A and B are shown apart, each in its own frame.
Chain A
Amino acid sequence: MTDLLIRGGRVIDPSRGTDGVADLYVKDGKIEAVGRNIPSQPGAEIVDATGKVVAPGLIDLHVHFREPGFEHAETIASGALSAVAGGFTAVCAMPNTDPVTDSQATVGFVVRQSIRAGKARVYPIGAVSMGQRGEQLTEFGEMVQAGAVAVSDDGKPVKSSHLMRTALEYAKTFGIPVADHCEDMSLAEGGAMHEGLVSARLGLKGIPSAAEEIMVARDIILAGLTGGHVHLCHMSTRGSVELIRWAKAKGLRVTAEATPHHFTLTHERCEGYDTNAKMNPPLREAADREAIRQGLKDGTIDCIASDHAPHHYDTKEREFDEAPNGIVGLETALGLAIRELVEPGILSLPELIARMSTVPAQVFGLAGGTLAIGAPADLVVFDPARRWVVRREDLHSKSTNTPFLNETLVGQAVLTLVGGRVAFERPDRPVS
């Protein structure tokens, strides 16, 4: 591994509250020094980061890598490559694979595949219940021992309040959060998009905002009952943001994430039955999008997570109500966040990096999210001003199901280091 001296970048480290032009020296995979005018080091390659931002590597608490079971859509290796191309050095993989990640053996498999891939760190999230069937708790202790960083039945809500309660209580022993996909299935069943004017016009069954909010309220109440840590996945409604704000004011252990598509798009995007606008939770209304943005600004929403959900094009190329939910998001997250949150002045760049790196690391208790001396050199160098067009052939994921194809985003990773190793380097191209 070559040592690197990254020179002249704007070094932003929310973990220490620092932001300024500096050099950063990576030695033996660790951050050795940060400061002005670090002299050339023997054996260290020099990277010119003038005009770029040097930040702790982005961390995504919510991705779907489809391996094992659906390797035609994504593998852990292809997902981990997509991650580093998007500036992410660590991602947390949801357990809804086939078989479900619900034992120490399946957790260990994800860890091994992550190491073999050697790109972003892929941390497994274990299922809450065996087979995600919502009946019997999985062996949290053994899964944590094997490398799981959280538990979740994501894709499905934890329907039984009793199971959610016991999961929150039991998870406390191991210091892990229970991440919940909040959806009251009796309201949401069969829904294909947000319930509103667009669904009424298109003749598609809607999912009311209440389906999410009811479960958010329940989870908050159970967090209060148990003292456990509940992490609310992909929040999409203004009501949810209000509920979380209330919970945080009460001092409950509630954290929340929101996706780039929920702070960027609204349900009007489903016009024309574009299946790349079909996701769960669905795209909602402008007022919801605004509430998500404000939640990210005031910290009600702790972090940005992509909910990267690759699907083979065949499965999306069909009738809207038959198509699967979700879009890929790792390579568009940063460019959307800068375009939608930083450019309009909702977040400063340091605040954005906090929401995409430092805070998510804290929420799941992961290494990273910092440029502290001695920390592993998980970092990203990105050009915050680069305007680039999302092209299918440029994406690294195995799947390209995204509604942002051919859109111009702002900001793109140019170099991603994981443990000091160059995990991704973008061939420098003229700005399009």
Chain B
Amino acid sequence: MTTPTLGKDLIGLEGLSADQLRLILDTAEPFKEVSERAIKKVPALRGKTIVNLFFEPSTRTRISFEFAEKRLSADTVNVASSGSSVSKGETLVDTARNLEAMRIDMVVIRHPSSGAAQFLGDRIGSNVINAGDGKHEHPTQGLLDLLTLRDRFGRIEGLKVAICGDVLHSRVARSNIWGLLKLGAEVALCGPATLIPRELVEVGVQIIPRIDDAIAWADALNVLRLQLERMQAGFIPSLREYNRVFGVTKERLDRAGKEIVILHPGPMNRGVEIDSDVADGPYSVILPQVTNGVAIRMAVLYLLAGGAPEWQAI
């Protein structure tokens, strides 16, 4: 059997095989330990230059990538859309060509348009890592969710995971759906029908309309952030009702009377999609997700840069 590789770019989990997903998760394991050291640095990407190109505000993902890059000893530059030539009207393709001309090795891109990461990857020779493109995918988030679930359950296969909330506008949901399905989990979507694209049933997920039923069914809930502007756009009548009908609350979990793992990609709206006593409660893995994020991103950067999968932390 040949060892799988990742190819040039990481655009989404839809395009990856189960073997490739397992390769990334397995590669992340030794990297977890690097972040626990006093000297949090290995030389794996020494001499590589990486641009973090963020066309959308981001705290968690941007910092997580930056730490991953620095802990691998890469040279990094951060570019945000404000304060760069993008705010002067430069097109994405021109930005890409200019980066290319500076001979960079990798680009991490966050962009409000679905497809922007692929657009960039198709046009430059550098490795492109999608850090979230519009409503399409957020593959490293999907991977860190997989890693967190695997840490907790020891497996992905056969797990029942309900993705709850605004699936329609969520890149996190799409990456999770592909990753979970490919690794053999069962996936349900739960939320108001206005925010659940029913066509996704065709890819093999089920839809559970009521949150209580989803809680009763699932081993883990991945609770999505509800963008506050969805109310203005008429998808839901009010945040108050959303919390009452779809919110993941302690009462609901107590009623279910079972252990259920709670994931959330952040940033949370406490009291809307998730109650504080759930987010801070014993079943929450929200902070382990963040910790795993750095290891996953180190693994992805390392593998795309051509690192061998049998690499062991030194």
Given A200-B200, A201-B203, are A273 and B174 neighbors across the interface (CB < 8 Å)? Answer: no
**From residue A190, how far is it (CB to closest CB) to chain B in Å?**
10
B228 at interface, CB cutoff 8 A: no
Q: Check if A135 is an interface residue, CB within 8 A of chain B.
A: no
Asked if B135 is an interface residue, CB under 8 A from chain A, the answer is yes
B9 to chain A, nearest CB (A): 13
Contact of B197 among A200, A272, A314, A317 (CB under 8 A): A200
**How far, in whole Å, are A317 and B92 apart by their CA atoms in the complex?**
9
B203: A residues at CB distance < 8 A = 197, 201
B136→A318 contact, CB < 8 A? no
Across the interface, name the chain B residue whose C-beta is closest to A319: B113
Give A76 to B288 CA distance when docked, in angstroms.
63
Contact of B113 among A196, A197, A317, A321 (CB under 8 A): A321
In chain B between 101 and 160, which residues have their CB closer than 8 angstroms to a CB of chain A?
Answer: 111, 113-116, 118-119, 133-137
A204 at the interface (CB under 8 A from B): yes
Chain B residue with Cβ nearest A206: B197
Query: How far does the Cβ of A120 sit from chain B's closest Cβ, in whole Å?
Result: 34
- A319 proximity list for chain B (CB < 8 A): 92, 111, 113, 115-116, 119
Q: Give the docked Cα–Cα distance between A319 and B135 (Å).
A: 13
Q: A322 is contacted by which of B14, B113, B197, B200 (Cβ under 8 Å)?
A: B113
Task: List A residues 394-425 near B (Cβ within 8 Å).
Answer: none
CB distance from B119 to the nearest CB of A (A): 6
The size bracket of the interface on A is 10 to 19
Contact A204 B119 (CB under 8 A): no
In the bound complex, residues from chain A placing their C-beta under 8 Å from that of B113 are 319-322
CB proximity to B under 8 Å, residues A201-237: 201-205
CB-CB nearest in chain A for B122: A272
Are B200 and A273 touching (Cβ within 8 A)? no
Bin chain B's interface residue count: 20 to 34
CA of A258 to CA of B200 in the docked complex: distance in angstroms? Answer: 29
Q: Is the CB of A200 within 8 A of B199?
A: yes
Report how far A273 CA is from B171 CA in the complex, Å.
16
A266 to chain B, nearest CB (A): 14
- For residue B137, give the distance in angstroms from its CB to the closest CB of chain A: 7
**Which residues of chain A come closer than 8 Å to B202, judged between CB atoms?**
197
Specify which chain B residues have a CB less than 8 angstroms from the CB of A321 in the assembled complex. 113-115, 134
Binary flags per residue of A300-314, CB closer than 8 Å to B gives 1, else 0: 000000000000001
Q: With A196-B199, A319-B92 known to touch, is A204 a contact of B114 (CB < 8 Å)?
A: yes
Which chain B residues border A202 with CB–CB below 8 Å? 114-115, 136
Find the A residue at minimum CB distance from B136: A203
The residue in chain A whose Cβ has the minimal distance to the Cβ of B198 is A200
B63 at the interface (CB under 8 A from A): no
Residues of chain B from 225 to 272 with CB closer than 8 A to chain A in the complex: none
Flag whether B91 is at the interface (Cβ < 8 A). yes
Task: Report yes or no: B92 in contact with A201, Cβ–Cβ below 8 A.
Answer: no
Residues in B with CB closer than 8 Å to A203 are: 114-115, 133-137, 171, 174
Are B115 and A273 touching (Cβ within 8 A)?
A: yes
Shortest A292–chain B CB gap in Å is: 21
- The distance from the CB of B53 to the nearest CB of chain A, in whole angstroms, is 13
Q: Which residue in B91, B134, B174, B199 is a CB contact (below 8 Å) of A318? A: B91
A1 → chain B closest CB, angstroms: 48
Q: CB-nearest residue of chain A relative to B173?
A: A203
Q: Return the chain A residue nearest B168 by Cβ.
A: A200
Task: Verify B118–A204 contact, CB threshold 8 A.
Answer: no
**Which one of A196, A197, A204, A318 lies within 8 Å of B92 (CB-CB)?**
A318
- Return the contact of B114 from the options A317, A318, A320 (Cβ within 8 A): A320
Which residues of chain B from 178 to 207 have a CB within 8 Å of any chain A CB? Answer: 197, 199-200, 202-203
How far, in angstroms, from A272 to B11 measured CA to CA in the complex?
A: 11
| CB-contacts of A181-208 with B (<8 A) | 196-197, 199-205
Quote the shortest CB–CB distance from A211 to chain B (angstroms): 16
A46–B181 Cα distance when bound, in Å, is 68
Residues of A341-370 contacting chain B, CB below 8 A: none
A36 to B14, CA, bound (A): 63
Residues on B with beta carbons closer than 8 Å to the beta carbon of A320: 113-115, 119
B308 within 8 A of A: no
CB distance from B234 to the nearest CB of A (A): 10
- Using CB atoms, name the residue of chain B closest to A315: B91
Most buried by A among B114, B137, B199: B114
Q: Report Cα–Cα, A339/B136, bound state, in Å.
A: 35
Q: How far is the CB of B224 from chain A (nearest CB, A)?
A: 14
Least distance between A200 CB and chain B CB atoms (Å): 4
- For this complex, 17 residue pairs linking A to B, each with C-beta atoms less than 8 Å apart, are A197-B200, A197-B203, A201-B14, A201-B174, A203-B135, A203-B137, A204-B135, A205-B135, A273-B114, A273-B115, A273-B118, A273-B119, A314-B91, A317-B91, A318-B91, A319-B119, A322-B113
Residues of B within 8 A of A (CB): 14, 91-93, 111, 113-116, 118-119, 133-137, 171, 174, 197, 199-200, 202-203
Q: A residues bordering B, Cβ < 8 Å?
A: 196-197, 199-205, 272-273, 314, 317-322
Instruction: A199-B197, A199-B199, A202-B115 given; name 12 further pairs at CB < 8 Å.
Output: A197-B199, A197-B200, A200-B199, A201-B14, A204-B114, A204-B136, A205-B135, A314-B91, A318-B93, A319-B115, A320-B113, A322-B113
Top-4 shortest CB links A-B: A273-B115, A203-B135, A203-B136, A319-B113
